[in-house]
Amino acid sequence: MTASPRPSRRDAIALAAATLTLPGRALAEPAARALKPYGATPSARQLAWHRMEQNAFVHFTINTFTDREWGYGDEDPAIFNPRDFDADQIVSAARAANLRGLIITAKHHDGFCLWPSAFTEHSVKNSPYKNGKGDIVGELAEACRRQGLKFGIYLSPWDRNHPDYGRPAYITFFRNQLRELLTRYGPIYEVFFDGANGGDGYYGGAREMRKIDAVPYYDWPSIIDFVHQLQPMACTFDPVGADLRWVGNEEGEAGDPCWATMDDKGFTPEKGNAGVRGGSVWWPAEADVSTRYGWFWHAYEDGQSRSPANLMKIYFDTVGRSAGLLLNLAPDTRGRITDEDVGNLATFGKAVRDMYATDLARGAAASASSARPGHPAAHVLDGKPDSFWTSADGTMTPMLTLDLGAAKTFDVVRLAEHLPLGLRVDRFAVDITQAGGWREVVAKQGIGSQRVVRLDAPVSARHVRLRIVAATAEPAITEFGVYLAPVLLEPPHITRDREGLVTLTSDAPGQAIAYTIDGSTPSAASARYTAPFPLPDGGTVQAIGIHLASGAVSTVGRRDFDIRKSDWRIVRASAPQAERLIDELNRTDWVAPLVDMDGKPCSVTIDLGRSVTMRGFVLKPGWHAPQGAGDPAAWTVRIGDDPVLAGPVQEAGEFSNIAANQAPQRLIFSRPHRGRYIEIAFPRTANGETRLAIAEIGLLTR
């Protein structure tokens, strides 16, 4: 998912915005109207979105059944048949994770519609699901209403099925579908427009490449206005003039800081990640990240769902930095979230609820070096969303101290600004008293809708102090809380060396980690993990004896692999150092020109040491591509027992969404191929770069 070129300038919402609320807060007191907002401020719908903090993305469509990330547009609707679709189960999984809204991929790039659109036949209405009478969008909207979640839609502007894509007639079609979605399913809180637009596709049978200039083609400002006419409180994501911006990656990491404002000088992923302090446009960041490597469900990713500990880290790296978290859930071919994913989501959600269950600052005595009449220090503790502390006129660097009454142990600090008055704080610090003196434990830039900072380790103190180090206007702080986060351990990781030696590594030294077949207390004799455990190169370990007492690396078993990279060698390549592709080190990149000296596409040929049957390959994108180098967008393959490999291309395909998602790309061939040599060529890059960067290549032999 990519970002649009740049936002349009919008006038700042002025004094009337001071009567609106930020996350968890209601209307401001009349006295606040005397304060002048600083800089850009949010609209009513943006404030409502900030309040939600974290939401669910649901990627589910015909791709789920084709095992693809991007469909081509030529899929037969007959293959879409979730036999046990359960909208309430999907929504319940989101609720368990404290996700407050849900956005469904109503139409992805393949053009297949999850609602019975009147304007296309490439739709659920021509599928076996409920004999063509089903409506996935409608069922999820109703389930969200039943369970108290807000509902949103994703509508891909790119349609690889429609014959008129790239022509003026398609815009009329696109608006007609948008009208259907915005008028049939009740209130919509967000409309997500993907940035991927134009390329090869089916296009009604044309099977050709179609390029568009997105901004003039769609006339994005008019599309955004159209959405707001039909759904005034629906935030729009990403294109010119939208309410929300892309955070610049799909890894669940906002910048530190991540300002909610931007300028009018053009969008870049780096700027989207950090925002622009003092920017003229309120354009907050939304961080879309998946619970798995891919966005859609793939059986090969079972067992690789993000752990609760990783989800908690993402929470601090997004919500904790004032960005909105959009966490993707991927229903399987049944139409349900897997038990593995549900369990991880529920554990993560419980951890967040447990963390906020006890505000250790509640009941504390608050005092400030400066306070404006009607806005005392105590307002940061009263739990009322309509009150805040601010300093006297002209006092930009005040301090606020909490006396907790006794020493209390915490490792999380949460702060929030009153957003209708703008982003006023530039830098702040948090101190605690220890041994009779003050010690700084937090020093950050920016507060915004919420700043949730986790300390490196818990601290114990009776007095906690907020210091405003720099501000552009008198600070308006509506919350100052301290909490103790639950301890969540990362599961052990399985790796193997060149000799096939399997090792288990724990991220939690000193912790005993083990698995048993029946859930009983592990012992040296009983500890076993019996389900297939995925390995980095696509192999699996069927049974591992786990015996850890200290959390250190432990040898747990051996396995003979069908194919080992230690037997491979590079026969030829378009550029030197191609050995980096098979060194099993994800952070060493092979960088090569897109076209070699003979004018041929960049390629690498690998000798596997013996003839094997291959059913696909795995490519890990470059770890840190140098300037001018990008990710491959397409591939071709030749396989055989002759190293020359002079025959025709046997397989070809594309890397879906690779520029925004650095997860390993798993490509499945149309049929198995046998040979000792494989040539993989890369005819183009994702964003038109003249060089490409790749970290690793592996093969799928099972």
Predicted confidence (pLDDT) at residue 410 exceeds the cutoff of 70: yes
Predicted confidence (pLDDT) at residue 83 exceeds the cutoff of 70: yes
Comparing C-alpha atoms, which of 18, 16, 33, 17 is closest to residue 374?
Answer: 33
Predicted confidence (pLDDT) at residue 437 exceeds the cutoff of 90: yes
Would you say the C-alpha torsion 41, 45, 48, 54 has a positive or negative sign?
A: negative
Three-state SS for 513? coil
Selected residue with higher pLDDT from 668 and 185: 185
- pLDDT tens, residue by residue, 473-488: 999 999 999 999 998 8
DSSP string, 384-400: -TT--EEPPTT--S-EE
Identify the burial level of 358 via C-beta atoms within 10 angstroms of its C-beta, where 0-12 means exposed, 13-18 middle and 19 or more buried.
Answer: middle
Mean pLDDT across the stretch 269-287?
96
Q: How confident is the model at residue 435 (pLDDT cuts 50, 70, 90)?
A: confident
Mean pLDDT across the stretch 5-11?
34
Query: What integer pLDDT is reported at residue 127 of this predicted model?
Result: 98
Task: Report the greatest alpha carbon distance in the chain.
Answer: 85
Query: What integer pLDDT is reported at residue 250 of this predicted model?
Result: 87
Question: What is the spatial distance between Cα 600 and Cα 158, in angstroms, rounded to a whole number?
Answer: 30
What amino acid occupies position 190?
Answer: E
Q: pTM (2 decimals)?
A: 0.81
Q: Which domains does the chain have, with CATH numbers?
A: 48-236+288-309+324-353 (3.20.20.80), 365-483 (2.60.120.260), 491-561 (no CATH), 565-700 (2.60.120.260)
- φ, ψ at 504 (rounded to 5°): -115, 130
Predicted confidence (pLDDT) at residue 65 exceeds the cutoff of 80: yes
Query: What integer pLDDT is reported at residue 628 of this predicted model?
Result: 83
- φ, ψ at 397 (rounded to 5°): -125, 60
Return the H-helix or E-strand segment holding 431.
strand 425-434
What amino acid occupies position 399?
Answer: M
Query: What integer pLDDT is reported at residue 661 of this predicted model?
Result: 66
Predicted confidence (pLDDT) at residue 216 exceeds the cutoff of 90: yes
Query: What integer pLDDT is reported at residue 656 of this predicted model?
Result: 80
Q: What is the 3-state secondary structure (H, E, C) of 311-360?
A: HHHHHHHHHHHCCEEEEEECCCCCCCCCHHHHHHHHHHHHHHHHHHHCCC
Query: What integer pLDDT is reported at residue 660 of this predicted model?
Result: 64
Predicted confidence (pLDDT) at residue 651 exceeds the cutoff of 70: yes
Selected residue with higher pLDDT from 542 and 82: 82
Predicted confidence (pLDDT) at residue 620 exceeds the cutoff of 70: yes
Predicted confidence (pLDDT) at residue 472 exceeds the cutoff of 90: yes
Give the count of alpha carbons within 13 A of 525, CB side only. Answer: 0
Q: How far does Cα 459 stand from its chain's mean position?
A: 31
Give the count of alpha carbons within 13 A of 445, CB side only. Answer: 12
Average per-residue pLDDT for the chain: 85
Selected residue with higher pLDDT from 561 and 229: 229
Mean pLDDT across the stretch 41-46?
97
Question: What proportion of the chain, given as a percentage, has pLDDT over 90?
Answer: 69
Predicted confidence (pLDDT) at residue 604 exceeds the cutoff of 50: yes
- pLDDT tens, residue by residue, 153-198: 999 999 999 999 999 999 999 999 999 999 999 999 999 999 888 8
